[in-house]
Chains A and B, each alone.
Chain A
């Protein structure tokens, strides 16, 4: 046998259960021929050694990699037998009393990140603020009693609502940022106002977070919009958590945005549907 014939047999044996051991047992004419070749060929012997080790490593990697279909089976399994939870809200309720620990931490970290241009790192800071908010309120709750307990309980409920909304928009932003066609738009405004939009045209979803806005009076609300060829279309109502305003959800109008398109946030009457007021935040697509 020549080198190529021996190496072909070794390669094929390396992918069969105990194939190399069986081949090297020498109890068949083929095995005997290979053994005879190996006895006088150091390069093929080296190749046999490499194949043995490669087979072990590759076999381990294949055996310890979950089958792709396990993902859907697992997620379906959880949907079927998992505890019933309220689905994540489209956004948190409008009533969100500020929780002291949330706003300063989140806004400070996010603003700093904006200045240094570190992309989406600010999301983690917001998420951390969510935990701090709940932990701080729980700590307060532990120290209360009587009427104070009821008030603290209400505060905790509000904080949890706030956390759920922030966590939802954070998760949505992370998921969108991972999409192959994800686009990131900076929103700029006067004073310390800033915002970020992440969207995926393929997925048809968008998430926006803004800082520096004050929750408006009851008959007014902030709305995010997209402007295409000078025509604004409402995207969603901004909800509030601490000093942050946010929204995440499906959008039908972001597919193939032409040059000059931009996003923005404006105040609007809750009773109406227009978004014609001057923007408090705006940013151009592609900049």
Chain B
């Protein structure tokens, strides 16, 4: 509890610093909150460009309206999520779309369980209904802790491996398309992809169990490309 108060106090100070013109304070708060804002916006819209625009507009609003943040009314996280949600809905309305549905755990922040996420989202007006989620594997979502571990694993893996994973899952490119995009031999793309996947699966071992053993993967030629 004392830690929470200290954290909230430091955020209040940072917002005050923004009101005083500190771009450094804005950068600190970006590092703390951008991931969660982007994740929520991208799940609501399923559109990377819209999610990026929402993040930019949310932090612009924080800069322009720092004085209007009232810590008594709620946390900075809740305030930023309200702004982000409004920006997201505005953009979806402009495009004639509706927000997507996503499970509570997908919106949970660091160290936040479903109940905490529900309370925060309900306070911001994001939640319009609740019920049991579907039980199929397709309903699997990334709990905050697992998601953070995956992000950490992604940031720590070799650049060439991170590149293929990002192109595969974010750009939704096939291995042939990745090879064309990067000018790598297809065999190199496949080897790096499998290596990267195995690294990430190690992070998920507690969730899914370890990957099945396979023969040692060969080191591709042109590793440094």
A and B: real partners? yes
**Set of chain A residues within 8 Å of B51, measured between Cβ atoms:** 66
Q: Give the docked Cα–Cα distance between A61 and B14 (Å).
A: 28
Do the beta carbons of B20 and A88 come within 8 Å of each other?
yes
Do the beta carbons of A125 and B200 come within 8 Å of each other?
no
- A73-B56, A124-B5, A124-B6 known; A167 vs B175 contact (CB < 8 Å): no
Q: Give the docked Cα–Cα distance between A88 and B154 (Å).
A: 36
**Set of chain A residues within 8 Å of B12, measured between Cβ atoms:** 127-128, 130-131
B110 within 8 A of A: no
**Set of chain B residues within 8 Å of A43, measured between Cβ atoms:** 212
Chain B residues proximal to chain A, CB less than 8 Å: 2, 5-10, 12-14, 16-17, 19-28, 30-31, 34-35, 38-39, 42-43, 48, 51-52, 55-56, 59-60, 63-64, 71, 106, 137-138, 140-142, 146-147, 150-151, 154, 164-166, 168-170, 172, 174-175, 190, 193-194, 197-198, 200-201, 204, 207-209, 211-212, 214-215
10 contacts between A and B (CB under 8 A): A7-B214, A8-B214, A53-B208, A54-B201, A58-B169, A65-B154, A124-B9, A128-B9, A170-B13, A175-B24
CB distance from B72 to the nearest CB of A (A): 9
Q: Scan A42-71; emit 1 where CB is below 8 A from any B CB, else 0.
A: 011011011011101111111111110011
CB distance from B143 to the nearest CB of A (A): 9
Q: Find the A residue at minimum CB distance from B34.
A: A66
Number of A interface residues in the complex (CB < 8 A): 67
Q: Is the interface of A mostly helix, strand, loop or mixed?
A: helix
**Set of chain B residues within 8 Å of A75, measured between Cβ atoms:** 23, 26-27, 30, 59
Tell which of A60, A66, A123 touches B13, judged by Cβ atoms closer than 8 Å. Answer: A123
Tell which of B28, B63, B137, B172 touches A171, judged by Cβ atoms closer than 8 Å. Answer: B28
Do the beta carbons of A58 and B200 come within 8 Å of each other?
yes
CB distance from B106 to the nearest CB of A (A): 8
